[in-house]
A = this chain, B = another copy of it.
Amino acid sequence: MFNQVDVPTDRSELEKLLVAAYGAADPVELDGVGGATPTTSKAAVVSASPEPGVDVDYLFAQVGIGTGSVEWTSNCGNCATGVALYAAAKGMVPIAGDRTRVVMRNTNTGTVLEGLVDTTGGVVQHFGRQTVPGTRAGGVAVGLTFRDPAGGTTGLLFPTGESAQELRVDAAEPTRVSMVDAGAPVVLVDAIHAGRTGAESPERLRADVPWLRAVRHAAAPLMGLLQPGQEPGDAVPKAGLAGPPVAYTTTLGERVAAEDYDVSVRMLTMNAPHPAIGLTSAVAVAAAGLAADSVVSRAASGRAGEWLRLGTPAGVVAVRCSDVREGLPRRVTVQRAARLLADARIYVPDTGAPRAA
């Protein structure tokens, strides 16, 4: 997290600074703080927003490892979670009792998100017990809310006009799917209908990657995601399985009982099993759960309460749809956690001057 007041506003100057600070010209990022993984070679530049109703703007940067360049077109839900805590901790928003609301605009995409940050007792928390799947470490609870996520790409929550339908994939029997656009365009396969469980291990799911890729390619044109003449790619729609809850063991070795969650979800990230679930995919699954006939609702069998609990390989993610009007959620909230690890001044070779981060 960088404060905009500490770094250049000019995009190319900022790019140079980030590449130098992260050591990203070098494939091992030895000469910087990037950590040499895509997950850690990210940055958000945060500033007070001039937009009415928005507290802070943030520009998300995916710093290319070894490329010496920055990708500016995407968003990152985990970064948004961090931005909310950062804005509270650095005094960029007024602390309001036990929960502090931070309205954030991602300036890459224009998306507006809300973070509800645990500020118990009206003070900034540096530590907390809220966990997220994939790590046993606790952090400060941040409820991350997507506003009006339905139809962001295609204009419709269900771009085909149906909440579930049969999809012909290759020469095989038709597969029952829901094609959803909320947070991101996603095609969800009814796992039981397809002879799976939706609770497959990542190793087991790997064998189904070619098939799920074919599902994605079959769904893309029906969802209106292809320009005329364009071949289906591997980024959209996101693809995965949904099934009923069953007892399973997470990749961290923790047992999860069937009653601990409402629906099993196994997603791909590009063409590999996702270790948990992307936040935008979680939004899509929850939004699909609003329609009684969707593959999500059939898998959950009416178990879901206020929060829909998704069983992912790394653990359970809870998602809440609220302010639902005509079947469309105006707000979808995912429970997340964040923590300030360190305040640092980075020595950046190109300029010779230390920078705050």
Q: Which residues of A contact B (CB under 8 A)?
A: 23, 25-26, 28, 30-33, 35, 40, 126-127, 134-139, 339-347, 349, 352, 354, 357
Q: Is the CB of A30 within 8 A of B134?
A: yes
Chain B nearest Cβ from A344, distance in angstroms: 4
- 8 additional contacts (CB under 8 A) given A341-B346, A342-B346: A26-B135, A28-B134, A28-B135, A31-B135, A126-B347, A342-B347, A343-B345, A344-B344
Chain A binding surface SS class: loop
Contact assessment for A342 and B33 in the assembled complex, using a CB-CB cutoff below 8 Å: yes
Q: Specify the chain B residue showing the minimal Cβ separation from A345.
A: B343
Q: In chain B, what residue has the closest Cβ to A139? A: B31
The contact sample of 15 A-B pairs, CB cut-off 8 A, is A23-B341, A25-B136, A25-B137, A26-B137, A30-B134, A30-B135, A30-B137, A32-B137, A35-B40, A126-B347, A339-B347, A339-B349, A340-B347, A341-B346, A341-B347
A341–B135 touching, CB < 8 Å? no
What are the residues of chain B within 8 A of A339 when measuring CB–CB? 31, 347, 349
Q: Which residue of B lies closest to A339 (CB)?
A: B31
With a cutoff of 8 Å between Cβ atoms, the chain B residues found around residue A30 in the complex are 134-135, 137
| Closest Cβ neighbor of A350 among chain B residues | B127
Q: Which residue of B lies closest to A131 (CB)?
A: B31
Contact of A342 among B25, B127, B344 (CB under 8 A): B344
Closest beta carbon of chain B to A69's beta carbon, Å: 16
A344 and B343 within 8 A (CB): yes
Q: Cβ of A136: which chain B residues have Cβ within 8 Å of it?
A: 25-26
Residues of B within 8 A of A26 (CB): 135-137
CB distance from A301 to the nearest CB of B (A): 34
Q: Which residues of B contact A40 (CB under 8 A)?
A: 35
Contacts of A137 in B (CB 8 A): 23, 25-26, 30-32
